Amino acid sequence: MIKLAAAALIAITHVTIIDTAGGPARADMTVVVRDGRIASVEQRGTAPKGAKVVDGRGQFLIPGLWDMHVHLSWTTASALPILVANGVTGVRDLGSNLGQIDDWRTRIAAGLLTGPRIVRAGPILNGQKFNQYQLVTGTPEETRGVARALEQVDVDFLKVHRRMQRESYFALIDEAKKLGLTVVGHIPMTVTPEEASDAGQATIEHVETLFEGTFSAGLKDGEFVDALKRFRATQAEALFARFAKNKSVVDPTIVAYDAIPRADDPRMKYVAASVRKIPAFSAEEVVQWRAKVVEYKLITGQMHRAGIMLLAGSDIAGPRIPGFTLHDELALLVESGLTPLEALQTATLNPAKVLGKTADLGTIEPGKMADLVLLAADPLADIHNTQRIAAVVVNGRLLGRAELDALLREGEELAKKN
């Protein structure tokens, strides 16, 4: 296992900083990292005595990336080093074994395990249980009790799934407000997107959740894609104006629909062996799947143009590939109509805003946590350049290309065993 060295004094010199707040890129900058924080950001600055110097000439510095929809218990611990090797320095876990996740968080914070920062919901709250990470909440009063119990164990938010009963959902939203927690997740199938937004659901996960339940009821096989086209033409503008007014945030996770797992994908070696089984799809199902993805991208573009804040999430679980697919999601967001800068914001500045951590994360400024990704090419010229990673700084610890490659090998070996 690769153990991170203690946070060091680091100076990244002559680098171009990408301003994720929207300002112009700043060339020939020196970024000094001390004790896990950004100590200074100066043009043509000098490296302090004793610093580990990284020459950033011709390279580009961005904040560490956040994957805002993961399921780490499902991916197993093999995903942790792979995420970091891909510049993912933070994740939002939306349904896992809380004890396991908290053990990993403690070991990561102590430098005993290489992995990203983790914020987590604990169990998925649902009206029926479909896997070991879901918890049936019951009646509205029982649901309130579940919310209070989870607040006592200090979860960061509450995650709801689509089979929660209507009355229990609204009880959960109400109780969460009293507890100072937000509710994120699917829109239950008996609740409309308008109702979920008006109720104050903080983030809506998956573009598909807009079209489950109340939307798809009564549709016959093969009618779904045509219904999506009608939605774009007749209903989307009003719904998305409502989302924007309510400040509802959407995490489209397009890659979860676009990236049909393939056994011949060389990146499948990074998926834990226990969950690597490839689902079988007929040729007709694949055609329908691809047609849905086209619509989902168009709908995501409409949301963006309506002023809705978007997040980047991969929904890694089962045979989905950790780390790499976040970069795929950024590319899909650009295909949906976002600029490369706006796509970067979905994985940097926007997560910081949603998590209430703009004082620590999201941009490269003095005083902020030292989670950084050094790129060999400009991501604003081509979003695929986020994959050209030269180095990662995670919690003030520097990992060069050799260390990142070692993390990938470690993740691959762990995946064989898990």
Note the pLDDT tens digit of each residue in 259-295: 777 878 899 999 999 998 887 778 887 888 899 999 9
Does residue 246 lie in a domain region?
yes
Q: What local confidence, expressed as pLDDT, does residue 120 receive?
A: 98
What letter represents residue 234's amino acid? T
Residue 281 to residue 268: CA distance in whole angstroms = 18
pLDDT tens-digit series, residues 209-220: 999 887 887 787
The answer to whether residues 53 and 126 belong to one domain is no
- pLDDT for position 319: 92
First to last CA, the chain: 14
Both 16 and 127 in one domain: the answer is: no
Given a cut of 60, whether residue 76 has pLDDT beyond it is yes
Average pLDDT in the 221-228 region?
88
Q: Looking at residues 320-324, what average pLDDT do you find?
A: 97
- Region 330-350 average pLDDT: 98
Judge if 57 and 74 occupy the same domain. Answer: no
The pTM is what?
0.96
Instruction: Give 88's pLDDT tier (boundaries 50, 70, 90).
Output: very high
Residue 409 belongs to a domain: no
Q: What local confidence, expressed as pLDDT, does residue 281 receive?
A: 79
Residues near 289 by Cβ (< 8 Å), separated by ≥ 6? Answer: 257, 260, 281
**Looking at 80-84, 127-131, 133-137, 261-265, which range is the least confident one?**
261-265
Residue 416 in any domain: the answer is no
pLDDT digit string (tens) for 45-61? 999 999 999 999 999 99
Which residues form the domain of 30? 10-62+363-401
Q: Is there a domain that residue 279 lies in?
A: yes
The mean-pLDDT minimum among 32-36, 84-88, 247-251, 258-262 falls in 258-262
Type of residue found at 418? N
Domain check: are 47 and 194 in the same one?
no
Q: Are residues 336 and 391 in the same domain?
A: no
| CATH code for the domain of 320 | 3.20.20.140
Question: Using 50, 70 and 90 to split pLDDT, how confident is the model at 97?
Answer: very high
309 & 392 share domain: no
| pLDDT in the model for residue 4 | 53
Q: Are residues 84 and 162 in the same domain?
A: yes
pLDDT (0 to 100) of residue 381: 98
Asked if pLDDT for residue 35 goes beyond 60, the answer is yes
Question: What is the identity of the amino acid at 397?
Answer: R
- The number of folded domains in the chain is 2
Residue 30's domain is classified under what CATH number?
2.30.40.10
Q: Is pLDDT of 139 > 90?
A: yes
- pLDDT category at 12 given cuts 50, 70, 90 is very high
Residue type present at position 216: S
pLDDT value at residue 217: 78
Say what the pLDDT of residue 284 is: 83
Name the 3-class secondary structure at 64: coil
261 & 386 share domain: no
- What does 145-213 look like in DSSP terms, one character per residue? HHHHHHHHTT-S-EEE-TTS-HHHHHHHHHHHHHHT--EEEPPPTTS-HHHHHHHT-SEEE-GGGGGST
Between 44-48, 51-55, 298-302, 342-346, the lowest mean confidence (pLDDT) is in: 44-48
Q: Indicate whether 413 belongs to any domain.
A: no
pLDDT digits (tens, 9 = 90+) for 167-211: 999 999 999 999 999 999 999 999 999 999 999 999 999 999 999
For residues 174 and 319, membership in a common domain is answered with yes
Is the pLDDT reported for residue 387 higher than 70?
yes
4 part of a folded domain: no
Q: Three-state SS for 318?
A: coil
Looking at the fold, whether 321 and 378 belong to one and the same domain comes out as no
CA angle at residue 89 from 84 to 92, to 5 degrees?
115
**DSSP reduced 3-state for 25:** coil
> 17 and 51 share a domain?
yes
Does 19 share its domain with 141?
A: no
Give the strand order in the sheet containing 158-160: 134-136, 124-126, 158-160, 183-185, 203-205, 249-251
- The one-letter amino acid at 340: P
User: What average pLDDT does the structure give for the chain?
Assistant: 95
The percentage of the chain sitting over the pLDDT mark of 90, rounded to a whole number, equals 89
Residue 389 lies in a domain: yes
pLDDT at position 279 is 79
